[in-house]
A = this chain, B = another copy of it.
């Protein structure tokens, strides 16, 4: 999935924007990151995830797990026991992604307050 028709030349900056979108298309979903984090410390079971991740529905857990597995970010192991036991674990690729997010979380922490203030200011300005 490309960002623009390949025959259209675009600037290096927009190419970069396109690359960022690739990432967002994988882990931009509401629950993807939480799941990856939980599965980055070792195998976790379905119900464990359901308990650890506040507010997720069974449906969205399943869907997001499937997508992450499809993209090669999660590995799924089925133990043919009774009752069934299924474990999910982050792949090396996903662990690298996790590392790459550090810069981003640092940014968010540094500017959390400034963003909140900007919002308040904007909303005050644009009322009435």
Partner of A71, one of B5, B11, B118: B118
CB distance from A53 to the nearest CB of B (A): 7
Binds B, one of A12-20, A57-65, A80-88: A12-20
Residues of B close to A52: CB separation below 8 A: 11, 14
Describe A's contact surface by its main secondary structure: helix
Size of the chain A interface, CB-CB below 8 angstroms: 58
Instruction: With both chains docked as a complex, state the minimum distance between the C-beta of A126 and any C-beta of chain B, in angstroms.
Output: 8
Shortest A29–chain B CB gap in Å is 9
Residue from B26, B108, B114, B119 in contact with A20 in the complex, judged by beta carbons closer than 8 Å: B108
Chain A residues in the interface with B (C-beta under 8 A): 3-5, 8, 10-11, 13-14, 16-17, 19-24, 26, 28, 30, 33-34, 36-38, 40-41, 52-55, 69-72, 93, 96-97, 99-112, 114-115, 117-119, 122-123
